[in-house]
Structure 1
Amino acid sequence: MHGEYKVPGGKLVVVDFQVVDGAIRDFRLSGDFFLEPDETLEAMNAAVEGMSPSGTIEAYARSVTEHLPEGAVLLGITPEAVGVAIRRAMTGAAQWRDYDWQIIRGEALPPAMHLALDEVLTTEVGEGRRGPTLRIWEWANPAIIIGSFQSLKNEVDAEQAAAEGVEVVRRISGGGAMFVEPASAITYSLYVPGELVRGMSFADSYAFLDEWVLEGLKGLGIDAEYKPLNDITSPAGKIGGAAQKRLGSGAVLHHVTMSYDMDADKMTRVLRIGREKLSDKGTKSAQKRVDPLRSQTGLERAEIIDRLVATFQQRHGGTADAVRAEELAAAQQLVETKFLTPEWLTRVP
């Protein structure tokens, strides 16, 4: 068995082992990480030797932690990363470069059409009619997008949103509400086969799927990092957040919205952001809650997108593509039968 896992923000972790009589044997850990003292490597190998090959990531990590020598230092690797690599070896998880990635950069669309395309394209990938795809969104109008399980009345000031001309829609993924205006945000979706994140926990998969964008942001001079579960941050403040949905077809939808030049005052008028949530962040106003990319880079939004896409292509490949006519038709049908219906929007009143 052979498994590999690139730790987000860290190093490559490689495991090789055999499965003999229902147990892991001849376990060998390697990679470009750093360990001190030298005997830490053998201690980590011994921690996994003899364990069940069907164990959990948490079980492997716990055993590795318990076997570490006193004062051991791990750089670029974590006990959990060892567990992920083992699970990927056992499940035959794929690597990014195993796929022919498609990249879609289309015209501005209404919010409900974006949400419908997310569901359609994820399904298409899961059923093998489309290859894994990165799609960059362009917004046709201002919107509030609430999470699948959020209460509409608790999150949105509907009267104020209507007065401001802000459309309210609900997505299929969980997570929190977000406010966007055309040219104020950078939003992208990844539609990936489940094999790419097989063996990972939800938390691990979030960071794994966004590692390329962290590299891209760092290339723009932003000291970006991932804050579990789903926030992209920098020392200057929060940049954006991610959400996921795993469909029955086996594919994963992973989408991210990052602020470019957010009107935080308008955001606080249309969203009901509680005082407790703000005090939790240690701020007295919403202005500091979302730090725009524009202020940190001085670049135009289009240039930031160009450079992020270039980073993705350098790491994972990718060729230009477009949404197909049949995909658009299926999405339009979902807009009418699901995403613009009162039943969907108020599924959690």
Structure 2
Amino acid sequence: MHGEYKIPGGKLVLVDLDDRDGVLRDVRVAGDFFLEPDEALDAIDRALEGAPSDTDTAGLTARIEAALPPPGTAMYGLTAEGVAVCVRRALTRATDWSDHRWQLIHEPPQSPALHMALDEVLTAEVAAGRRSPTLRVWEWDSPAVIIGSFQSLRNEVDPEGAARHGVTVVRRISGGGAMFVEAENTITYSLSVPASLVSGMSFADSYAYLDDWVLTALADMGIRAWYQPLNDIASKEGKIAGAAQKRITAGGGAVLHHVTMSYDIDAEKMLDVLRIGKEKLSDKGTRSAKKRVDPLRRQTGLPRGDVIARMVDSFRTRHGLAEGRVTPQEAARAEELALTKYSSEGWTARVP
């Protein structure tokens, strides 16, 4: 069995092993990381040799850490947990980015409700094996607030403010916090991927793994950004983006990972629509929402369309990306869901 894992912010780890009679055999760890002393690599292999094959990531991490040579092992671009994740990926026969034929969907502006529906439909199609893993870039036809699956509508949105600014409120299927979006002021994209791509990873690890490509894209535009647990992308200038996920268990399983990035948010309008509590602002270490919104326009100096184009080009260079479209069958199902579910009071106010 073979596993690969690019440690977020670190290096690539590879593991080759056999699973014989329920234990790990012939374990060999390799990669482009840095490790001192040399004997530490053999110690890691020995620590994993003979481990029960159902040992979880925490258990494998503990075995590795206990086996590292004293008085201290220096790891650069490598962690014991990263090796453990790689082992679990080998055992679960996880797939890698390069194992898939990626498809891009970037269509004209659509309604907030239809965007919610498309996320659900396309991810279900990936889970069923009828669609290739997909990167979808959103375009908005109207301003909106998208609240998380478990958020209270009345606690998050000021209805008078929303009405005053013509803002539509919709609820998505993933958790996380509220997003305020306007047509040309945000960049939103979704990844609909098979569950095998994040197999062996914890929920938190999968966020960092699926965000890694966009950190490279931002770096190419002169922005040094990083993943900030659990679901933010940040820079020294402040928060750039927030992510959310939903797991689909039907069929072969799939993960919806969608991200909203701030390009040029009107913070005063956002504050007039969203009810952002003092506790949330304090938790982010800021005194005003304006400091939490870190426009890509200011950091890159590029038009929004150019930022999107560069992001797409970066993804294509790393993983390959073919032009795609929503099929007529997918469109029909999404339009039905947009009307019956995502535009309904029962769904939007399901947590009053």
TM-score normalised according to structure 1 size: 0.98
Partner residue, 2:307: 304
What is the CA–CA distance in structure 2 between the aligned matches of 1:346 and 1:335, rounded to whole Å? 15
Q: How many residues of Structure 1 are paired with residues of Structure 2 in the alignment? A: 349
Partner residue, 1:153: 154
SS in 2 for 1:77: coil
Q: Deviations over 1:22-76 (max 9, x none)?
A: 2112221111000112222122222212111111111111221222233211111
SS in 2 for 1:66: helix
Partner residue, 2:285: 282
What is the CA–CA distance in structure 2 between the aligned matches of 1:307 and 1:318, rounded to whole Å? 13
1:176 is matched by which residue type in structure 2?
G
What is the CA–CA distance in structure 2 between the aligned matches of 1:20 and 1:328, rounded to whole Å? 47
1:22 matches 2:25: no
1:34 matches 2:34: yes
Q: Among 295, 298, 306, which residue is 1:295 paired with? A: 298
1:328-339 matches, within 5 Å, as 328-339=331-342
Partner residue, 2:5: 5
1:1-349 matches, within 5 Å, as 1-69=1-69, 70-249=71-250, 250-349=253-352
Shift of 1:321: 1.0
What is the CA–CA distance in structure 2 between the aligned matches of 1:236 and 1:178, rounded to whole Å? 19
What is the CA–CA distance in structure 2 between the aligned matches of 1:19 and 1:283, rounded to whole Å? 50
What is the CA–CA distance in structure 2 between the aligned matches of 1:156 and 1:9, rounded to whole Å? 36
Percent sequence identity over aligned pairs = 60
Shift of 1:171: 0.1
1:326 is matched by which residue type in structure 2?
Q
**What RMSD over aligned residues (CA atoms) do the two structures have, in Å?**
1.1
What is the CA–CA distance in structure 2 between the aligned matches of 1:261 and 1:328, rounded to whole Å? 30
What is the CA–CA distance in structure 2 between the aligned matches of 1:257 and 1:323, rounded to whole Å? 21
2:59 is matched by which residue type in structure 1?
A
Structure 1 unaligned regions, length at least 5 = none
What is the CA–CA distance in structure 2 between the aligned matches of 1:68 and 1:270, rounded to whole Å? 53
Q: Deviations over 1:110-140 (max 9, x none)?
A: 1110000000101111112211111000011
SS in 1 for 2:129: coil
What is the CA–CA distance in structure 1 between the aligned matches of 2:174 and 2:4, rounded to whole Å? 28
The answer to which of 71-80 and 112-121 deviates more is: 71-80
Structure 2 unaligned regions, length at least 5 = none
Shift of 1:209: 1.1
SS in 1 for 2:155: helix
What is the CA–CA distance in structure 1 between the aligned matches of 2:132 and 2:339, rounded to whole Å? 26
